[in-house]
């Protein structure tokens, strides 16, 4: 209810623009809104997407699994030491080849977006967030496939749920001109942040405003993890520079 959400939104700390330090963790936010069942469901669905990103990074060796701190999934699920929930795992069996593993990851994401779209019924914010994220993901997949001379259709995820690729032409142009992958990610997250600002229902005190807060929090915590990883690598880089 809007009256309840008023107290929740005023209790939650304000969020600065990325890469600002996030003032609250996703887990703490879920604790704070636990009694607001629908808000909790919407926020947890958004936080699950970040857990899947973390899982993908751990499985690719890009992030240490032993220190991974998921919010909705368990640490064992993020490290692929325990099965995913049924609504994410689907019925497909695992395949150990690299190409099939990539397609397997796409299947998990497809299952996730179908799940999120089902949860989103009645929530304009989450419905449009799914459309935006699916559309952006597929627009990037098409751009990468074209650059590598691959069949883009093999890498699309639930295209019927997403926005048209044409809506992302300006973002893709800026992304493709970025000097390195980190700069490219910053372009994408800046676009996401701007999109949330247009759809957050500010001062409406509806459930969607709390869902928008969760979507912003995901972006801030992503950049917090990046900063921590860069800081952890700094002593190693300094040592290399000191060696004759």
pLDDT at 100 over 60: no
- Which of 108, 168, 116 has its CA nearest to residue 141? 168
The whole-model pTM stands at: 0.89
Residue 91: C-alpha distances to residues 28, 100, 108, 110 (Å): 33, 15, 10, 12
Residue 179: C-alpha distances to residues 169, 175, 182, 221, 237 (Å): 18, 9, 8, 23, 20
Q: C-alpha angle with apex 222: 219 to 225, nearest 5 degrees?
A: 155
Report the share of the chain in percent with pLDDT over 70.
Answer: 89
For 215, the token pair is: 């979507």
Q: Three-state DSSP class for 3?
A: helix
The pLDDT value recorded for residue 4 is 76
Contact indicator for 80, 59 with CB cutoff of 8 Å: yes
The pLDDT value recorded for residue 95 is 43
pLDDT confidence tier of residue 63, bands split at 50, 70 and 90: confident
Report d(CA 150, CA 153) in Å as an integer.
9
pLDDT at 33 over 50: yes
Contact indicator for 150, 99 with CB cutoff of 8 Å: no
Average pLDDT of the chain to the nearest whole number: 89
pLDDT tens digits along 208-223: 999 999 999 999 999 9
Report d(CA 61, CA 191) in Å as an integer.
27
In the block, residue with structure tokens 């497809």? 110
The pLDDT value recorded for residue 242 is 54
Q: What is the DSSP string of 31-83?
A: HHTTTSHHHHHHHHHHHHHHHHHHHHHHHTTSS-GGG---SSS-HHHHTTSSP
Report d(CA 231, CA 19) in Å as an integer.
15
pLDDT tens digits along 156-203: 999 999 999 889 999 999 999 999 999 999 999 999 999 999 999 877
The pLDDT value recorded for residue 101 is 45
pLDDT tens digits along 105-118: 899 999 999 999 99
């Amino acid at each position: 209810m809007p009256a309840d959400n008023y107290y929740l939104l005023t209790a939650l700390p304000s969020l600065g623009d990325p890469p600002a330090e996030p003032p609250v963790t996703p887990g703490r936010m879920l604790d704070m809104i636990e009694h607001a069942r629908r808000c909790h469901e919407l926020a947890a669905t958004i936080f699950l997407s970040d857990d899947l990103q973390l899982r993908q990074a751990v499985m690719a060796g890009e992030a240490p699994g032993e220190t991974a701190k998921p919010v909705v999934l368990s640490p064992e699920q993020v490290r692929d030491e325990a099965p995913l929930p049924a609504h994410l795992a689907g019925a497909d069996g695992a395949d150990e080849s690299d190409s099939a593993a990539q397609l397997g990851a796409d299947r998990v994401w497809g299952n996730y977006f179908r799940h999120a779209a089902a949860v989103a019924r009645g929530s304009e914010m989450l419905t449009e967030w799914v459309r935006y994220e699916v559309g952006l993901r597929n627009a990037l997949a098409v751009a990468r496939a074209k650059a590598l001379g691959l069949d883009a259709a093999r890498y699309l995820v639930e295209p019927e749920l997403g926005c048209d690729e044409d809506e992302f032409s300006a973002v893709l142009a800026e992304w493709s001109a970025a000097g390195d992958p980190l700069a490219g990610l910053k372009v994408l997250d800046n676009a996401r942040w701007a999109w949330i600002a247009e759809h957050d229902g500010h001062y409406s005190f509806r459930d969607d405003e709390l869902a928008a807060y969760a979507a912003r929090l995901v972006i801030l915590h992503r950049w917090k993890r990046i900063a921590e990883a860069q800081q952890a690598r700094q002593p190693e880089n300094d040592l290399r520079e000191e060696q004759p």
